[in-house]
Amino acid sequence: MIESQELVKFDRAHFKSFGNSTLDFEVVYYLHTADYNKYMDTQQAINLGIMDAFEREGIEFAYPTQTIYMGK
């Protein structure tokens, strides 16, 4: 998925750590251009591709929630 993007070289991906409410992964890839807009477009395409792959596999994300009670 990552190397299917133009000018991208995948380096590595690892399970990095446990956060307070997260499982943290690190994905490293190199984009062979200095064009910042191209970088942002590519990063978005990769992140959305990862989300799509998780959805296809039935992997769901639990997002932290807060309940706020307001007095009258």
Residue 35 forms part of a structural domain: yes
Q: How many Cα atoms sit within 13 Å of 20 on the Cβ side?
A: 3
Q: Classify residue 7 as left (phi > 0), alpha (psi -120 to 50) or beta.
A: left
- pLDDT per residue, tens digit, the chain (72 aa), is 898 999 999 999 999 999 988 889 999 999 999 999 999 999 999 999 999 999 999 998 877 788 899 988
Residue 3 forms part of a structural domain: no
Residue 14 sits in which domain range? Answer: 8-56
* pTM (two decimals): 0.76
Domains identified in the chain, total number: 1
Residue 21 forms part of a structural domain: yes
Can you give the pLDDT at residue 61? 83
Residue 40 forms part of a structural domain: yes
Residue 39 forms part of a structural domain: yes
Residue 2 forms part of a structural domain: no
Residue 65 forms part of a structural domain: no
Can you give the pLDDT at residue 69? 92
Residue 62 forms part of a structural domain: no
Sequential DSSP letters for the chain: --TTSTTEEEEEEEEEEE-SS-EEEEEEEEES---HHHHHHHHHHHHHHHHHHHHHTT---PPP--------
